[in-house]
Amino acid sequence: MEQTKRIAIIAHNNKKSDILEWARFNKFFLVQHELYATGTTGKLLEEELGSVVHKLQSGPLGGDQQIGAKISMQEIDMLIFFWDPLEQQPHDPDVKALLRIAVVWNIPIACNRASADFLISSPLMHDRYQPDLPNYQEYLERNYKEQAAQVNKEQLSRLETVS
């Protein structure tokens, strides 16, 4: 991670006022970084901060998945996601997938104001930081070998049926 972080910010509807209050309080720090957000959250943050926010689709329309894709491509350094644990969301599977992919790629995640405060006030926010990126090469190779073996087994089975 460079000194300027690429921060994804998401908030469910019932958490929009919380994320805006948090952003207002941390405006000085946030505007020093590259911000990404889903739909309405991005528009509201841009107005609140007076700074450019890269806006993606609304969460239920694929924005959570877009953020997840950016994380998997190492284009997002951290995720601030004020999600509402008391409201079921129509896109709950997308939310779970987003949180999972953030863990898979070892990026910092804040899901409430306290954890967001700790993240943004960390000394690591102001310097370069090299997180341990997982090496999934062994997994990919193992997965490939297992699938290749399965395909060969199915082909043999078809040949035996034809013979």
* Catalytic residue IDs: 64
d(CA 41, CA 71): 18
d(CA 35, CA 126): 15
Per the CB < 8 A criterion, the answer to whether 89 and 13 are in contact is no
d(CA 163, CA 159): 6
The structure tokens listed for 141 are 């190779």
Find, among 135, 134, 37, 22, the residue nearest to 78 by Cα. 37
d(CA 136, CA 105): 10
| Angle at CA of residue 76, ends 99 and 66, nearest 5° | 65
Find, among 118, 36, 46, the residue nearest to 71 by Cα. 36
φ, ψ of residue 16 in degrees (nearest 5): -60, -45
